[in-house]
Amino acid sequence: MTKTQLVGKLADQTELPKKQVEEVLSSLVEIIRKSVKKSDPVKIPDLGGWRLRSMKARMGRNPQTGEPIKIPARKKVGFTVAKSFKEHVLAAKR
How many CB atoms within 10 Å of residue 36? 19
Per residue in 39-62, pLDDT (tens digit) is: 999 999 999 999 999 999 999 999
Mean pLDDT across the stretch 4-32? 95
Strands (E), 11-90: 42-44, 48-55, 58-61, 68-71, 74-81
Band (pLDDT 50/70/90 cuts) for residue 91 is confident
**Which pLDDT score, from 0 to 100, does residue 93 have?**
57
3-class secondary-structure state, position 32: helix
Question: Residue 38, SS3?
Answer: coil
> CB within 8 A of 12, min separation 6: which ones?
none
Helix (H) or strand (E) holding 26: helix 18-37
What pLDDT sits at residue 29? 96
Mean pLDDT score, 6-15: 95
> pLDDT per residue over 62-76, tens digit each?
999 999 999 999 999
